[in-house]
Every structure is written in C-alpha cells, then in structure tokens.
Chain A
Amino acid sequence: MSGLQVAVLSGGLSLEREVSLRSGARVANALEARGHRVERIDLDDRLVATLIDGDFDVVFLTLHGKSGEDGAVQGLLQLLGIPYTGPDATASALAWDKNVFKGLVARQGLPTPEWVALPSSAIRDMGAARALDRVSEHLGLPLMVKPSQGGGSMGVRRVDAAGELGPALVAAYSYHEVVLVERFVKGTEIAISILDGEPLPAVEIVPRDGAYDFAARYTPGATDFYAPARLDAQVLDRAMRMALAAYEAVGCRHVTRADLLVDADGVPWLLELDTCPGMTETSLLPTAAGAAGLSFTELCERVVQRALQDA
C-alpha cells in the first residue's frame, strides 16, 4: 500500500477546540502508523491557501463544533474538489442544528422527544418570557434545555422546576441564540455509530455521577460504557433501524453517530446526529468500533478509503 498525502483538520475557534485537537492528534498518529504522510492543520484564515498549496489526496475532518460541523468547511472542500471524510455540506448543516434535525426526523415519523425552540430574539423582542410557563405546562417537567447548535453537552441543563427554566435559558443562550426546551426522557442513553451505512454495536452510556456532562464525557472512568448495550435484542434492533433511518433522512455518508434514549417501555427516542464524531480516548465511535473488532487505526483507514471512493 502506498501512502497518501492526508490533511487532518482540527482545532479552529470552536468552543470544542480542545477536544477537536485531541481527536486530530489521535487520528494523525493512527494514519501515520498506516504509512500515510499526514499534515495536521489548525483551522484559521490561511486554511484555503494551505489546502490549495498542500496537494492533499484527502482531508480527514476531526473538527467539532461551529465551522467544522455546520457544513462550512465541507462546502469549501467541495468547492476546492478535495475529497474529505464524513457527511457533505448539506447533511452536516441539517444535522448540526438540533431544531432542524428534530423537525426533519419528526416529519419522517421517527420519534424524538417533543420540544419547543426559543430564539433569544423572541425573548428580547417579542416578550416571550411571558409564555415560559406554557412551555413547562405543555411539555411537563422535568425538561432538558440545550443550545440548538453545539456539542460536548456545553450549555445543557436539566430543569426540574418551572422556576429553573429562565436561568437555564440564559445559560444556554451564551452558547447559541436558539435554545431548545425538550421533554425529558428517563431511560438508557445509547450511541449508535454508523460506518459505511452499517451500524456498529450500540454503546450504552452510564455516567457514574448521573449526568453525561462535559466532565463525564472527557474524564476516563467517569462514565461506564457497555458495548453492545445491555438492552433487549428487539429494542436494540429497533434503535438501530431508527438511527439508520435518521442517517439516511439527513443524507449522511462514511461515518456518523446517532444519540438516542431508550425509555422504560423500550421505546428509542432520537436526540441528535453527530456528523463529525469525537475520536478521543473516551469517545463513543472508537469504543463502538472496538466492540466490533475494528482497531482505531483500521477505523481511520476505512473512513479514508471511503472518502477516496466517493471522490
């Protein structure tokens, strides 16, 4: 196998910069170990020039957050005609915004927890604060409040009493100007990664401190994982079919991760799709790949080869 010239893109100005750099370093090491020539690129205002001058065979995206996952970089790479890993610009844009994604899958008849989207402009310019009580009456308590865009659980809060909704909204608006208020689904959290249109074993997520927040995500040992998830085979099958349906509805390719909750009745609920899943030591996609017998280097190689085939 002759090595390829690969650019691994990570970092940028996203709030998830640190995680992205860690993903990027890991992927770069893996691809170098496979004999590729790898250049690590931090996303900045020289990006396009670097890509044009670099003569890359393929770009591996390990960007998390704004600019990396919202389709901006994907659109540029399409324009430059450079093959890249992961879903295209349109699919990225559809999955990136949770309000858009949930609307899309709900219209396909796929279950996603009921939600209300509240832009900060509605609060500031339309007096929507007067309607906050309706939100909790309508959706019931507890609620999950999350920025419509962004990852890593940043700005996400659980609300157990109506009075907590205002502060949770204010906190979430710091991350994005549209905030979703979602019905809380009590149940088992699972992640289903899809590689080449095939689901990998579902990973069950059991945070030791209860919530799968930033610390639980990125501290090794703070969360227990089970792959495959300890759920009934029929339930798992249903969850996988739902994850695949969402993947197809959005038009994903190569690799994507779906996050779901399975409630006490065994009903899976779609929460979101991550089109540029984390590749760190604690990330869910590498964990799922490992459970399927696929090493991290093999996973990276598979994704690179798929990107080349699709070019």
Chain B
Amino acid sequence: MSEIQLDPHLSRYATRARGMNASEIRALFAVASRPEIAFLAGGMPFTQALDFEAVQAVTQEVVRDHGPEALQYCGGQGLASLRERLVEVMAAEHTAAHPEELVVTTGGQQGIDLVAKLFCDPGDVILAEGPSYVGALGAFAAYEADVRHVPMDAEGLVPGALEDRLRALANEGRTPKFLYTIPNHQNPAGVSLSGPRRQELVDIARRHDLLLVEDNPYGLLDFKGEVRPSLRSLAPERVLYIGTLSKIFSPGVRCGWVAAPTAIRDKLILLKEAADLCQSNLTQFVAERWFSTQPWLDQVKAYREVYRERCDALLHEASISFPEGCTWNAPTGGFFVWAQTPEGVDTKELLAKALGARVAYVPGKAFYADGSGTREMRLSFCYATPERIREGIRRLAEVIQEELELVNAVYGTAVGDEERR
C-alpha cells in the first residue's frame, strides 16, 4: 500500500478542531512583520513608550523582596494584592468593584475564553457587534458557538437593531447566551457607544434578560481623557466585565481580569484552575508593584499622546491620499481606524497586492463570523511611527486606486457590480 499518513491522529480530533487549518492569510502576515512593510495590521501597544528603568527597578524589587512567593504557584483567583490594584484601575473609569469579585486571567483573552467555555454549548447563540474583535470570534468558534452580529453606526451598537435581533431569535425559539460588546473605542471599528445608548442597551438587556459581556481594553485610552460610564456601573447584576493591563501597561505581563457576580466568579475560578492552575505569580507581582509604586496614570497619558499623534497622522494622510469612494471614521481613542473601500474592491483579495507594495492591514472579513466585511479593513495606528503610518497610507492609497481602475476595466461601471454579485 502506497498511502502516506502525514497526520496519524486525524481520526482522534474533536469536531471543534475541524476548521483548524493552515490559512493563507496567516501565512501572508509572516511577510507583514518584516521591517520593510509599513505595519498597519497589528494591535500591539507601543511598549517602547514605557519607562524601562522603572520597570527594571520594580522587577528587581519583586525578586528581592518577594522572591520565594513570586516564583511559587498562587491561588486560582489571582494575587489578592494585585486584585486590589485592579479595582483601583476600574475606579479610574468610575467603575466600582470589590477585589473579591475579580478573577485574574492570562490577558483579557483568557477571560473571553473562560466566559465562552462557561456558557456555550455547541450551537449556542452569542451576540456580538458587527464587526467584532477577531480574538473573541476565534474563542467563540472554538466552542462552536453561533455568532450573530448586531450592526453599529457612528454612535456604536444600534439598540433598535439589537432589539430586532432578540425578537427574531425569540421567534426562532432561541435565547442568546450573552452579548459580547466593546463599548469604548471598539476593536476594530474604532467607535464608542454613546452615553444615551449605554442606558438604552442596559434597559434592553433588562427587558430581555440578556447577559452582557463588557470587554474594555481601551477605555482609558481616550485622546481627550474622557471617561465613559461602563455598562457594569449601570447594571452590575448582569454584566461580566473584562479588563486588561495590556494596553495601559504591558501585554507581556499577560494580566487581565473578569469582574463577575459571585456565582459566576466561583465557576470562573474553577475553570481558570482547570485551564492553567493559576496566573504567573512573577508577572502578577511585577504588575502589582507597578500599579502600587509608579505614576501609572502618567504612563497611560504618555501612551494616549503617542496614539493621538499617530491617529492624526493616519487621518490626515488618508484625507489627502485615499481615492474618492473610500470612507473611514475618525476615532476619539484606542488603536484603530475602520475604513471602507469603493464598490468592487475586495480587501481580502487586495492584501497580496498591498503586501507587494509593502503595506499591511487586516481585511474586514476577519472581524465577522458571517463572511461579510469584504469592503472593509482595519488600519491600526498603535505600532508604526507617524512617518511610517503616512508612508503606509500613501502606499495603500495607490494600491486601492490601481485596483479601482482594474475593477472598472473588468466590470465596466455599476452594471458590472451587479454581475459581480
């Protein structure tokens, strides 16, 4: 027999592993990380803005003063003294919490994963903004959840659309397990939920007995320092709040948390212990010392200034260079600009050409569970310098313009667009 088995374990995998295949898009991003490429793709914070002498001092202090404990296991809920600091971080956004309500997780990402694991059986419906965070969609897919999107506009998630969605689901006899939402400077759409809509959203949730999962990585990164009321502060009884130190300190310490009502918190601790026993005590201590002894709000302000300048550079260059028919939003904080290409230009197909022109973005399709987003793209301004951002936008503008000419030549005018569909 000449059959060659490259993976002898194929018949053993769980059904949820079925879609876990090599992906061309992932492979393309190997090129995107090269220094020649203007990198508008990733959501990495600009950690160069950190005070590394201070980080070093804090780390030394941890090893010197807490060595044996820092290099030991800890409890599943996370270091108590760190949880006290995390509560202070939440207070900076006028959100009250008690350290006992918190479970420390490996970044906000593990919080999302554990919440999905706790609530979702295969086929269960999760509601999420359309578009939504690609990492959350990945976690939900791993539990075989059925993600339904709720549209957004310039004021964030549209409450009327949410209510329509809930009614339609009720007609199908289905109840969503929760709504996953990023109310502040949303990833990827770069919009924030307006004040009145926060109250409306909470009212709808109460009317329909909907659980809200509020993911808030960017709340403190408003360019003007504006703080918006969290959903948790409006309805603590039905909100799971996910926070992270990744954007205000460092993603390298992998510290996130979930603030949850007692019953849910207890289950999350058990899940956390089952997943990885406990959070790294070493990085918890480093984070705890950072937020105890350093002017961390000044650091947040420094980050904010960096991102504001970069966002301005992106928006300014886009307004000069992008071809007619492109649209994009002007974020008031966070990491991302969300852009739409003119009719007929597919951002997933365009990526190879963009990489050839040495600029990288993330195609919109990645942020939808339902295959939409073909004319959308996420442009990040968090990582590249303003000069690189401007260069990247100029390159991207040329690529879009060229594609537009090609598309028009292939399909003719609007008639062609009909055919294309």
Interface, chain A (partner B; CB < 8 A): 13-19, 21, 44, 120, 123-124, 127, 129, 132, 152, 154-155, 163, 166-167, 169-171, 173-175, 201, 203-204, 213-215, 217-230, 281-282, 287, 290-291
Contact = CB atoms under 8 A, between A and B. Distances in A.
Given A15-B355, A124-B405, A175-B353, 9 more contacts: A13-B37, A13-B358, A123-B406, A132-B410, A154-B24, A166-B411, A173-B406, A215-B22, A219-B21
A286 to B, nearest CB: 10
A217 B6 contact: no
Interface in B135-149: none
B2 A218 contact: no
Chain A contact residues: helix, strand, loop or mixed: mixed
B406 A19 contact: no
A215 B21 contact: yes
Given A154-B352, A175-B352, A215-B21, A166 B419 contact: yes
23 contacts: A13-B358, A124-B409, A129-B409, A163-B419, A166-B419, A171-B349, A174-B350, A174-B352, A174-B353, A201-B2, A203-B4, A214-B22, A214-B23, A214-B24, A215-B21, A215-B22, A215-B23, A215-B24, A220-B7, A221-B9, A226-B4, A227-B2, A227-B4
Interface of B: 2-7, 9-10, 21-24, 26-28, 30-31, 34, 36-37, 346, 349-353, 355-356, 358, 403, 405-407, 409-412, 416, 419-420
Contacts of A171: 346, 349
A202 to B, nearest CB: 10
A196 to B, nearest CB: 22
**Which among A166, A169, A225 has the highest number of chain B CB atoms within 10 Å?**
A166
Contacts of B30: 17-18, 21
Chain B contact residues: helix, strand, loop or mixed: helix
B355 A229 contact: no
Contact of A221 (B6, B24, B28, B356): B6
Contacts of B5: 221
A118 to B, nearest CB: 10
A169 B419 CA distance: 14
A166 B344 CA distance: 11
A224 B4 CA distance: 7
A224 B22 contact: no
A220 B6 contact: yes
B7 A170 contact: no
B6 A225 contact: yes
Contacts of B350: 174
A169 B349 CA distance: 11
Contacts of B34: 13, 17, 44
A229 B2 contact: yes
A139 to B, nearest CB: 18
Nearest to A173: B406
Contacts of A282: 6
B355 A290 contact: no
Contacts of A215: 21-24
A170 B6 contact: no
**Which among A13, A152, A201, A217 has the highest number of chain B CB atoms within 10 Å?**
A13
A221 B8 CA distance: 8
A219 B22 contact: yes
A62 B7 CA distance: 23
Contacts of B3: 224-226
A155 B352 contact: yes
B414 to A, nearest CB: 14
